[in-house]
Structure 1
Amino acid sequence: MSNSHKAILITYPFEDAAKEAISLADAAGYSIERVVNQHHITRSRYGIGIGKAQEVKQLVEQEKPEVIIFDEVLKPSQQYNLASICQVEIIDRERLILKIFDRRASTAESRIQIKLAQLRYDMIRAREKVRLARAGEQPGFFGMGKYDADVYFLDIKKRATVLKKKLQKEEVRRNLHRIQRSKAGLPTVSIAGYTAAGKTTLFNSLTGESKITGQGMFTTLSTFTRLVQSKGTKLLISDTVGFISRLPAYMVDAFKSTLQELSYSAVVLL
C-alpha cells in the first residue's frame, strides 16, 4: 500500500490474533513491516518484559517504523515507558480501532458516536495521568501541570456530555422512524456479525444497493435500512455495524443507539 505508514506490530503468538491485528492495522493505514509475538503483553511496566522491549528497540532501529502497534490496551504509564525506550509513537489496540472508526465515519450520527468513543478513551487515560501526576510518579501531565490535567479532564467530561445529548436526539429520531415502520406493518430483517464478514455484500445482493464493500474492517459504521419486496411481501433489510473480539464496552456503548435496531428486528441474520 503506497499510502501506508510503516509499523511494527506486537501481538499474541496465535494465528487468528495476528491476522486480526494485521487487518486492523491495514484498515487504519499502516503497513506491518515486522511482527513481534509475545504470550504476555499485559506486563506492568512496558506491556511486555524488559528483554522483549529491548528487542523491539533494536527492530525500531533496523526498520525505522513510524509507529509501534500494540495489540492490547496500554495504560498511559506503559505507553510512556515503552515509547521512552523505543523513541517512537505507541498505538495501542483501542486507539488503533478508533483511528479506523474516524477514517470510516460517513454519517453525522456515526461521527458523533466516534467522537464520544474517542473522548471516553481519553477520559480513561486522563484519570490515570492525573493519578500519576498527583502521586508524583510522572512529572505533571507528561509535560502539563497538575492544574492543567484537572482542567483537561473536566473539559473531556463536558464535551462527552454534549455529545451524549446529541446522540439522544438521534435516538429520538430513530424511535420515530421505528414507530412509523411498525404502524406500516413492515418487519425488519437485520444482518449482523463480525466485521468484514460480507454483511454489506449480502445487503447489496438482497436490496440491489451498491454500498461500498471490500475496504477492510469497519466499512459500515451506521445502520442502513432499505425497503424490498419479495413475492408480494414488503419488508425492511438492515445492514448493521460489525464487531470484533476484545472490543471494549465503552465503544459498544457509544454505538448503542445504532445497535438497538437489532432488538426490534423480526429476524437477525448472523
Structure 2
Amino acid sequence: MTDQNFNKEKAILVGVQLNQTDNHIQQSLQELQALTETAKGEVVSILTQNRDRIHSGTYIGKGKVEELQALEEEHEPDVIIFNSELSPSQNRNLSKVLSARIIDRTQLILDIFAQRARSREGKLQVQLAQLEYMLPRLGGQGIELSRLGGGIGTRGPGETKLETDRRHIRNEIAEVKRQLNQVVKHRDQYRERRRKNNVFQIALVGYTNAGKSTLFNRLAEADSFEEDQLFATLDPMTRKLLLPSGYSVLMTDTVGFIQDLPTTLIASFRSTLEEVNEADMLLHIVDASHPDYVEHEKTVHKLFAELKMDHIPNMTVYNKKDNVWDEFTALPDQQWMLISAFDPNDIEALKNKIEESMIDQMILFEIVLSSNEGSLLAKFKREAVIKELTFIEEKEEYKLSGYMLKDSPITGYIKEHKNLNDN
C-alpha cells in the first residue's frame, strides 16, 4: 500500500432520491464522490434510498439505518457522508447508532474550501461559514464533538473553536465579520481605483472543474492553480489580458459554482463574488465533455440570478471540445464558442471574440493628432481599441479611429480637440 492510499480516509456515502430521475441522483452522488476524493477520502460504499420525503429523524428510514449499520461493520469507515445538509437532530440521532464520524455535504464543501483558502480573506470567509454552520448544532453534540480529532469535515480555521460555548462562538463570528469588513473595505478602495482608471473587467465564472483556471492561465499567461479536481481555485486572482488590438483588460478567475451550494457559503462568499458584480463582461466556462453539462449550465444561470449578476453581458465558452459528446448542443439565445483551452488557435479566436463583444459596449471615435502629441497618442493606444492609425506626412498628423468606453477619460481629450478644430 502506498503512502498516498494510507493517508486516505475510508468513507461511506448516503443519498436519498426524492421524485428525481435516476440520472439526477446518480450525477449528484458522482459529484459527492468527487468532492470526497478532493478532500483526500476514498469511497468504499454508497447507500441510496427512494423516498417521498427525507426522514425527519434520521434522514433515511429505519430499515436503511440498519443497512447502514451493517455496511459500517463490514467496511469500518472513518466517516459517513450524507448527500444533503443534516439537521442537528438528524445528526444526533444517527450518532447514537453509528460509530463513524458523521458529516454532510455542506461540511464536506467547507472542508475543501478550508484546504483551498490561501488569502486572508478566503481563510476568514471559510472560518465564518464554519462558525455559522456550527452554532445551531452545538446543543447536545457532546458525543459528536468528542470524536472530532481531525479528518474530513473537521479541518480549517474553525476547528479549534468547536468545543467552545455559544456565546464564545457568537463573539468569534462578530470578530471574523469585523476583520472581513476591513479586508472588504481595502478591496473596495482598490476596485474604486480601477473604476477611476476606467479599466474594462472580465470575470471567468462557471461550474467547478469546468477548466476556468486552465483557460485563465492560457489567456493571461498567469499562474492560477489548475488541477483536475473540484474547487481547485478559491481565492479570486486578477491579471491583465492583452487583446489582439493591443488593448489591455483585467480578467478575474473565480471560485467554481456547484449544485446545492450551501446557503451559508453563498452568504459568506458573497463579498468574493462581488468582484464578479463589478465585471463588464462574464465568460461563462462550461465543461462540454461532462455528461451533465446542461444541468451545470442551468445551475450557474440560476446562481447568476440569485447573486444579481444576470444583467451583466456574458458569453458562454464551451471547453474541452476534444471530448464532447456526439449529441452536444449549446443552450439557445446566447453568444457562445466551442474551444479547447490547450489549442493556441482557439485561444486566439477567443481573444478576438472577446474583443468583438467588448466593442459592442463601446462607442466609436475619430480624432486627428499632430505629430508632436506622442504622449496623447500613447494614451489613446492604452485606453482604446484602435482600428485605424494613419500618419499623413504632408500634414504631419495622425488620423486615429477606434472604440472607447462610454465614460472613458479620453472623451475629454476628444471634445477638447473638436472645440479647437471648430475654432
CA distance in 2, matches of 1:237, 1:63: 47
* Matching residue of 2:258: 244
CA distance in 2, matches of 1:15, 1:56: 19
1:11 touches 1:21 (CA, 8 Å); kept in 2?
no
What one-letter code is carried by the residue in structure 2 that aligns with 1:24? L
Deviation (angstroms), 1:141: 5.4
Match for residue 185 of structure 1 among 195, 198, 220: 198
CA distance in 1, matches of 2:54, 2:39: 23
Q: Please state whether the residue corresponding to 2:279 is helix, strand or coil.
A: coil
Q: Please state whether the residue corresponding to 2:206 is helix, strand or coil.
A: coil
Deviation (angstroms), 1:187: 0.6
* Matching residue of 1:142: 142
Detail structure 1 runs of 4+ shifted over 3 Å in the superposition.
140-144
CA distance in 2, matches of 1:108, 1:259: 16
Deviation (angstroms), 1:215: 4.6
Q: 1:143 to 1:38 in 2, by over 3 A?
A: closer
Deviation (angstroms), 1:51: 0.3
Match for residue 184 of structure 2 among 158, 166, 171: 171
1:42 touches 1:72 (CA, 8 Å); kept in 2?
no
What one-letter code is carried by the residue in structure 2 that aligns with 1:262? V
Q: Please state whether the residue corresponding to 2:235 is helix, strand or coil.
A: coil
Residues 1:55 and 2:59 aligned together? no
* Matching residue of 1:28: 39
Residues 1:18 and 2:29 aligned together? yes
1:112 touches 1:163 (CA, 8 Å); kept in 2?
yes
Root-mean-square deviation over aligned CA pairs? 1.9
1:27 touches 1:215 (CA, 8 Å); kept in 2?
no
* Matching residue of 2:248: 234
CA distance in 1, matches of 2:246, 2:198: 14
CA distance in 2, matches of 1:256, 1:165: 15
CA distance in 2, matches of 1:173, 1:119: 24
Higher fraction of helix:
1
Residues 1:195 and 2:208 aligned together? yes
Deviation (angstroms), 1:172: 0.9
What one-letter code is carried by the residue in structure 2 that aligns with 1:245? Q
TM-score, with length taken from structure 2:
0.57
CA distance in 2, matches of 1:237, 1:28: 29
Q: 1:45 to 1:244 in 2, by over 3 A?
A: same
Greater displacement, 49-58 / 239-248: 239-248
TM-score, with length taken from structure 1:
0.89
What one-letter code is carried by the residue in structure 1 that aligns with 2:69? K
Residues 1:101 and 2:113 aligned together? yes
Q: Please, which runs of 5 or more residues in structure 2 have no aligned partner? A: 18-24, 145-163, 285-423
Deviation (angstroms), 1:22: 0.5
2:224 touches 2:237 (CA, 8 Å); kept in 1?
no
Match for residue 220 of structure 2 among 194, 207, 222: 207
CA distance in 1, matches of 2:59, 2:99: 16
Deviation (angstroms), 1:174: 1.1
Deviation (angstroms), 1:5: 0.6
Deviation (angstroms), 1:42: 2.6
CA distance in 2, matches of 1:256, 1:181: 20
* Matching residue of 2:395: none
* Matching residue of 2:415: none
Greater displacement, 215-224 / 200-209: 215-224
Using CA pairs under 8 Å that are at least 6 residues apart, name the structure with larger relative contact order, 1 or 2.
1
2:224 touches 2:233 (CA, 8 Å); kept in 1?
no
What one-letter code is carried by the residue in structure 1 that aligns with 2:67? E
1:34-76 deviation per Cα after TM superposition (whole angstroms, max 9, x unaligned) = 1111234731221110100000100111111111111111122
What one-letter code is carried by the residue in structure 2 that aligns with 1:30? G
CA distance in 2, matches of 1:51, 1:95: 26
What one-letter code is carried by the residue in structure 2 that aligns with 1:142? G
Deviation (angstroms), 1:228: 2.1
CA distance in 1, matches of 2:29, 2:241: 39
